[in-house]
Amino acid sequence: MFKSIKTAYNQIPILPQVVLVVTNMIPLLGVWFLGWHAGIVLAIYWGETAVIGFYAIFKMIRAEGTDPSMENADMDSDVRKIFLVILFNFHFGLFMLVHLVLILFLFFVSFDFSTPSLIAIGPIISPAVLLAMAGFFLSHGISYNTNYLAGGEYKTALPRRIMFQPYRRVMAMHIVIIMVGFLVFAYGEYQAIGVTLLVIFKILLDLRAHTKEHALKPEQQQL
């Protein structure tokens, strides 16, 4: 398995991977030098999730793969794309809303069971945080242009398959986030170390997911 992943890794353009790693280092610098807590880092990753969904929409629209299961369907391919994009916006938007509410209530809302109030949300819109989110937008944009467009992945891509790609990547990342989150809550005085582990694991997961996604052969993309 590791040999196949290494082979696939060597076949993928290096620039998107470098930008991906560098961008992921920004939250790490924020934790150690700007006093960011876990909630700010998770808010940044929420922003990255939104970016992933944003580019997924463009991938679905640009996809030109032939879906064998839809060959006899009455619906025109362009109409089908529009339908899938609308459907994706609905369920992925709902997922993002629930995700955002959880982050806010866990890290940015103070409850006394009478008057809940937002606290310390200023750091979320600080220049450094916006820079990190812009970095993720640039990182995924480079990957979209380098691998999907210039690399020709759109020629065999299927809209219905792209619609679920963000979930596989995001859910794997959130399993790690939850695990590290428990450590952060249990050992608050070691929060920086916990968030550092979170960032490291996320970088490894991102690289693995990026490699698997862009190493698919055309016939595999048709599945």
User: What pLDDT does 131 receive?
Assistant: 86
Q: Which of 114, 101, 111, 131 is nearest to 34 (CA)?
A: 131
* pLDDT given at position 119: 53
Query: For position 60, what pLDDT does the model report?
Result: 92
User: Per-block average pLDDT, block size 10, for the chain (223 residues)?
Assistant: 44 73 86 81 87 94 77 65 92 89 76 52 70 89 90 88 82 67 62 76 78 56 42
Domain ranges of the chain: 2-221
Q: Which pLDDT value is given to residue 122?
A: 56
- pLDDT at position 57 is 95
The pTM is what?
A: 0.79
pLDDT for 71 equals: 56
- How confident is the model at residue 73, as a pLDDT? 54
